[in-house]
Structure 1
Amino acid sequence: MFFLQVALLIVLGFLTLGLAVWGGFALWFQLPVAAWLRIAAIVLWSLPPAATLALVAGVPSLPGLPGLSWRWGPLAFVLAGMAMALWWSSIRPSHERDWADDVARLLVPQVQGDIVQLDNVRNFTWRSETDYDIRWESRRYDLSQLVSADLVLSYWMGPAIAHTLVSFGFADGRRLVFSLEIRRERDEAFSALGGFFRQFETVIVAADETDIIRTRTNARGEDVYLYRLQLRPDQLRRVFLGYLERAAQLRDSPRFYNTLTSNCTTIVFELARRLSPSLPLDYRLLLSGYFANYVFDQGVLTPGYSFAQLHAAGRITGRALQDGPQQDYSKRIRQGVPGVSAAELR
């Protein structure tokens, strides 16, 4: 019985500490006030759980001051937790903010049979991260001409973390890239930690390769890899339409980005599960830099090669940095990529 009580106290202590830390981060990322006021709010929030932890640890009062009891701590923590929960539930995603230029517009899809009309396809020209030409376009695509899909991973923070994109190819040589991204406000920077605390909304971007891939290699200095996916025409169509479905949902109802559960990699996994419901969960869905290895293990990359060979041949960074006509960009970055036919490169 004694050991059970000790175990329960330990669990209670960890839960109290966890809630206290979570609440502190929530206040830091969400309170729209000066930093010193956020710090003051965090300190006030921390007092009830600190008193509760003191009681759990068997310290009923402040040493030397027996009149200062911590017995108020649990009740105050419950009341503070209820207030925190009400405040947190009041934080809603919105489409009405001062958005950064590259995520200022929402993709508008219309599907009639095989014909897809897309408004607000991004086709910026990037000279640097802050110097660019803004261009949003309307495009039409024939899904009966959809012939390929490529998985693109852009590494920006070491080997374990990458941004995941999917580029679709059509018989006429056109390509369109889909990417789930944070919808940053103007002058706002990405924070993986903030992504756990409703700091960003989610947006589906559809863009030209010379925009969304080239900006990563040429403007941001990221390291980019491309792998050909082995999908049947019906599977290509379902994944393509899956992105459009998510874009339409986001347009109708804004949603928060979540670093763990709703990000650029989890959407690919969700759409892939529509094709194969038995796909297993895996740590590489969180450590997205290893996602291509996960896809390889599922047999969806070009057969006949080891993953090391696909990885080496799929590094497009050097080719992307080469000078050449912009209209040849998609062909240039695919030179030597296994699974890409010679006809695509002519």
Structure 2
Amino acid sequence: MRSSTLRTMLWTWTKRILGLVFLGLLLFLGTRYVFLRPSLDRDWKVEHAVLPEIRIDGNEVHVKNVRSFVYRSADDFDPRYVDRTYHLDQLETVWFVLSPFREDWRGPAHSFLSFGFADSTFVSVSVEARKEVGENYSVWRGLVNTYELLYVIGEETDLVALRAVHWNDDVFVYPIATSEERVRELFLDMMTRAQQLAVRPEYYNTAWNNCTTNLYDHVEKLAPDSWSWDWRLLLPGYSDKLPYELGLIATDLSLDEARERYRVNDKAKAAFGDPRFSILIRE
């Protein structure tokens, strides 16, 4: 009898404690969502310190602060930004870049797009969590208004080479099968979004405002009947299977064969420092 009463009391107190913990967690999250506001003015990490400035003028897209860091290693680099003018009538291709974080599980990953022009130049657009000095990326912290959202516009010698050469993460660069008209619409949509974030900041969110969900939003505008929400948006390391199943990756290979064909790490290491880097990794 006493043992039964003791178990009942312990269970009652356990439920109360768990309830208080849950209530405290809800209060903590609610406070962050209600009272915290995203900002453009923080002590940002070097790689996220400078926002792109964009001006669209008819056929021309002028981008100030295109990231073009010069790396000797992942931690030893010279910050460098360049100004570029992109001509929409010269924009021809778009490439889906996928970089899983781990070898043992494809789930966590970063994805972004690269755009190719008639003169064989390329520019990447990468949606990222904008981190402050002393911050590191955390999936869980990304759920509670920890990071702002940032569109990095950069050259492949920075954004692709950093991951493939210096971080030594697997990097896959897939050609996307679509019309030049849609490529240009997609590029303009991403430039417009980057413009907006430079004025009205938003919080990054691991679940619904991350790299892959933003890419989905852009692409879905161009082909609303072809896309629907998919669990692979939350586990972006598998997200290459989604465009593959829709026939958007320009290949007749199986998915495993395509992954092998479009993994660029060896080519990136061989081409590092070569001005033809973007061309060589696609050969």
**Residue in 2 that maps onto 1:190:** 137
The percent of aligned pairs where both chains have the same amino acid is 32
**Residue in 2 that maps onto 1:117:** 62
**Residue in 2 that maps onto 1:148:** 93
Displacement, 1:87? 5.4
Equivalent residues in 2 for 1:61-210, closer than 5 Å? 85-86=30-31, 88-157=33-102, 158-210=105-157
**Residue in 2 that maps onto 1:319:** 267
Displacement, 1:245? 1.5
**Residue in 2 that maps onto 1:277:** 224
Residue 173 of structure 2: SS of its match in structure 1?
strand
**Residue in 2 that maps onto 1:216:** 163
C-alpha change, 1:172 and 1:257, in structure 2 (3 Å) is same
Residue 229 (str. 1) matches residue 176 (str. 2): yes
CA distance in 2, matches of 1:101, 1:322: 27
Displacement, 1:100? 0.7
CA distance in 2, matches of 1:140, 1:232: 22
C-alpha change, 1:303 and 1:318, in structure 2 (3 Å) is closer
CA distance in 1, matches of 2:273, 2:28: 59
Displacement, 1:306? 2.1
Code of the aligned partner of 2:130: R
C-alpha change, 1:101 and 1:86, in structure 2 (3 Å) is closer
**Residue in 2 that maps onto 1:4:** none
Code of the aligned partner of 2:241: N
TM-score by length of 1: 0.73
CA distance in 1, matches of 2:23, 2:171: 48
**Residue in 1 that maps onto 2:213:** 266
**Residue in 2 that maps onto 1:245:** 192
**Residue in 2 that maps onto 1:296:** 244
CA distance in 2, matches of 1:80, 1:260: 18
Displacement, 1:136? 1.1
8 Å contact from structure 2 (residues 66, 153) kept in 1: yes
Equivalent residues in 2 for 1:49-68, closer than 5 Å? none
Code of the aligned partner of 1:126: Y
Structure 1 stretches lacking a partner, 5+ long: 1-57, 336-346
C-alpha change, 1:77 and 1:288, in structure 2 (3 Å) is closer
C-alpha change, 1:160 and 1:82, in structure 2 (3 Å) is closer
Equivalent residues in 2 for 1:41-52, closer than 5 Å? none
C-alpha change, 1:331 and 1:85, in structure 2 (3 Å) is closer
Displacement, 1:304? 2.6
CA distance in 2, matches of 1:289, 1:299: 18
Question: Quick check: 195-204 or 151-160, which moved more?
Answer: 151-160
What is the alpha-carbon root mean square deviation over aligned residues?
A: 2.7
Asked which structure has the greater CA Rg, the reply is 1
Code of the aligned partner of 2:198: R
Residue 44 of structure 2: SS of its match in structure 1?
coil
Code of the aligned partner of 1:205: V
C-alpha change, 1:318 and 1:252, in structure 2 (3 Å) is same
**Residue in 2 that maps onto 1:333:** 281
Structure 2 stretches lacking a partner, 5+ long: 1-6
C-alpha change, 1:74 and 1:95, in structure 2 (3 Å) is same
- How many pairs does the alignment contain? 273
C-alpha change, 1:76 and 1:287, in structure 2 (3 Å) is closer
TM-score by length of 2: 0.88
**Residue in 1 that maps onto 2:3:** none
Which of the pair has the greater relative contact order for Cα pairs under 8 Å at 6+ separation?
A: 2
Code of the aligned partner of 2:154: A
